[in-house]
Amino acid sequence: MKKSLYAGVAAVALTASMAHADGHKLFADGEGPFSWDSFNEWAAGAPDLSGETVTVFGPWLSPEDEYLDNMFVYFEEATGADVVYTGSDGFEQQIVIDAQAGSAPNIAVFPQPGLAANLAEQGLLTPLGDDAGAWVAENYAAGSSWVDLGTYADAEGADQFYGFFFNVNVKSLVWYVPENFEDAGYEVPETMEELIALSEQMIADGETPWCIGLGSGPATGWPATDWVEDIMLRTQSPADYDAWVSNELPFNDPKVIEAIETFGMFAKNDDMVAGGAGAVGTTDFRDSPAGLFSSPAQCYMHRQASFAPAFFPEGTEVGEDADFFYFPSFAEKDLGNPVLGGGTLMAVTDPSDATFAFMEFLQQPFAHEAMMAQTGFLTPHTGVNLDAYASASLRGQGEILQNATTFRFDASDLMPGAIGAGTFWTGMVDYVGGASAEDTANAIQDSWDAIK
């Protein structure tokens, strides 16, 4: 549910699935901030695939599909093959139907790794091999994180590397108005300790540090799960985070309770949050950033993913009227710079020589840069030229990805639906409404136990 919400914000329109016309070369050979040398070297050795077609199926709709076509054309020119992309807002259901019926596309674009893992277990994905996994480990920031996210058990239970991520979103962001910070003499914090101290300083100055809203209709509560997930990555090891996702680390473990209580330090303190703690559970998440822009400011900071500007006042220019900084880690915990986010995994569902050639093309920095220059595309590929990003804001988010020491996928999207899109959501609403962290965690663990 949460991942679908993010996709809906990103897409201009949720239309029926469709194939799209061929793209065109937006960037002349040798021009622009692109990695032409490595691309030309790859193209010189590319196979002749004239008459071959590569079919790609995924969740991207208009206008993202058109951006893809404009990137595909470079592969098509180099190889003679055609690439046909089809997008659908019902991708998750349709890919299972198609794969089980033996009519899968060559490549599927999975919006979360759990679905890919399920198909791999059924023998419906083709492993990319150890060399592809080694390429990810070498070329992606926090490479081991991305290898783990693309590695699943096959039909015999053996771990295989099945896919790499292409287009990532960042959730570990704090949004603010630079002018408000400047007027008050506040500086962007670099550690969690500094962020907490800044929040306390704002209170001492008679200001309110945070705007937080958990309201989202039937999905009310999900913004709090992002907070807890980010805090888990900043208070516990990546291994503990992974164990929490699978419930090997129980939801009522003291480590999880600590993360919930740390969130409560921000959300359950009347002085810390606009409207007081009682307003957190009822304020719609789409309305919650408004306090940043009121005069005088009702709050100074808002923790939200990269899609947050969709809910800023019309005409707000990111980078000037509003900006962001990395939701920092605790210096004393020595856990590096973890990043919470999501992304889309490219995996092979119907192999062919042309398919594997196309997957190799997607590993080229140029394929990433061609997307970076057109749209809100982010990549952890360390070989790209950051100057290719379409805006300074996107470049800043790209740099956060580049500096990540650990990347983890949204935990609630990986948990069983009854938990991640159920009791975790409702439990966090109960928590901000007055329940203790321990009682909240116990109730969520009870729901885990009920489905085992």
Decide which of 448 and 8 is more confident: 448
Rounded Cα distance between 137 and 339, Å, is: 17
Decide which of 27 and 172 is more confident: 172
Q: pLDDT tens-digit profile of 32-68?
A: 999 999 999 999 999 999 999 999 999 999 888 999 9
Mean per-residue pLDDT over the chain, rounded: 93
Q: pLDDT tens-digit profile of 352-401?
A: 999 999 999 999 999 999 999 998 899 999 999 999 999 999 999 999 99
> What does DSSP assign to residue 298?
S
Query: What pTM was computed for the model?
Result: 0.90
3-state helix, strand, coil in the chain (%, to 5): 45, 15, 40
pLDDT of 348 > 80? The answer is: yes
Tokens of 182: 């400047």
Task: Classify residue 121 as left (phi > 0), alpha (psi -120 to 50) or beta.
Answer: alpha
Tally Cβ neighbours within 10 Å of residue 367: 24
Pairing of strands 18-19, 323-326: unpaired
Q: Residue 181's pLDDT is what?
A: 98
Q: Is 49 helix (H, G, I), strand (E, B) or coil?
A: coil
Rounded Cα distance between 21 and 69, Å, is: 8
Sign for the pseudo-dihedral over CA of 53, 58, 61, 67: negative
Look at the chain and count its residues.
452
pLDDT of 29 > 80? The answer is: yes
pLDDT of 230 > 90? The answer is: yes
Q: Is 439 helix (H, G, I), strand (E, B) or coil?
A: helix
Residue in the structure block whose two tokens are 């360390």: 382
Rounded Cα distance between 67 and 65, Å, is: 5
Considering the chain, what percentage of its residues have pLDDT values greater than 70? Answer: 95
What are the distances in angstroms from CA 24 to CA 27, 69, 86, 370, 412? 9, 7, 17, 12, 39
pLDDT of 283 > 90? The answer is: yes
Q: Mean pLDDT throughout 205-217?
A: 97
Q: Is 176 helix (H, G, I), strand (E, B) or coil?
A: strand
Q: Residue 23's pLDDT is what?
A: 64
Q: pLDDT tens-digit profile of 303-339?
A: 999 999 999 999 999 999 999 999 999 999 999 999 9
Tokens of 383: 């070989």
pLDDT of 240 > 80? The answer is: yes
Q: Which residues of 71-108 are buried (b: 16+ CB within 10 A; e: fewer)?
A: bbbbbbebbebbbbbbbbbebbebbbebbeeeebbbbb
pLDDT of 215 > 50? The answer is: yes
Considering the chain, what percentage of its residues have pLDDT values greater than 90? Answer: 90
**Which of 15-29, 69-83, 122-136, 260-274 bottoms out in mean pLDDT, i.e. has the lowest?**
15-29
pLDDT band at 151 (very low <50, low <70, confident <90, very high): very high
pLDDT of 17 > 90? The answer is: no
> What does DSSP assign to residue 266?
H
Instruction: Answer for the pair 407, 380: CB distance below 8 angstroms, yes or no.
Output: yes
Instruction: Please report the beta strands in 274-359, taking only residues with DSSP state E, as ranges in sequence order.
Output: 302-303, 323-326, 338-348
Using alpha carbons, select from 302, 275, 281, 273 the residue that is nearest to residue 434.
281
Rounded Cα distance between 162 and 155, Å, is: 13
pLDDT band at 22 (very low <50, low <70, confident <90, very high): low
pLDDT of 19 > 60? The answer is: no
pLDDT of 13 > 60? The answer is: no
- The DSSP secondary structure of 184-210, one letter per residue, reads HT----SSHHHHHHHHHHHHHTT---B
- Where do the domains of the chain lie, and which CATH numbers do they carry? 2-169+342-409 (3.40.190.10), 173-338+411-451 (3.40.190.10)
How far out from the chain centre does Cα 40 lie?
31
Rounded Cα distance between 83 and 367, Å, is: 14
pLDDT band at 229 (very low <50, low <70, confident <90, very high): very high
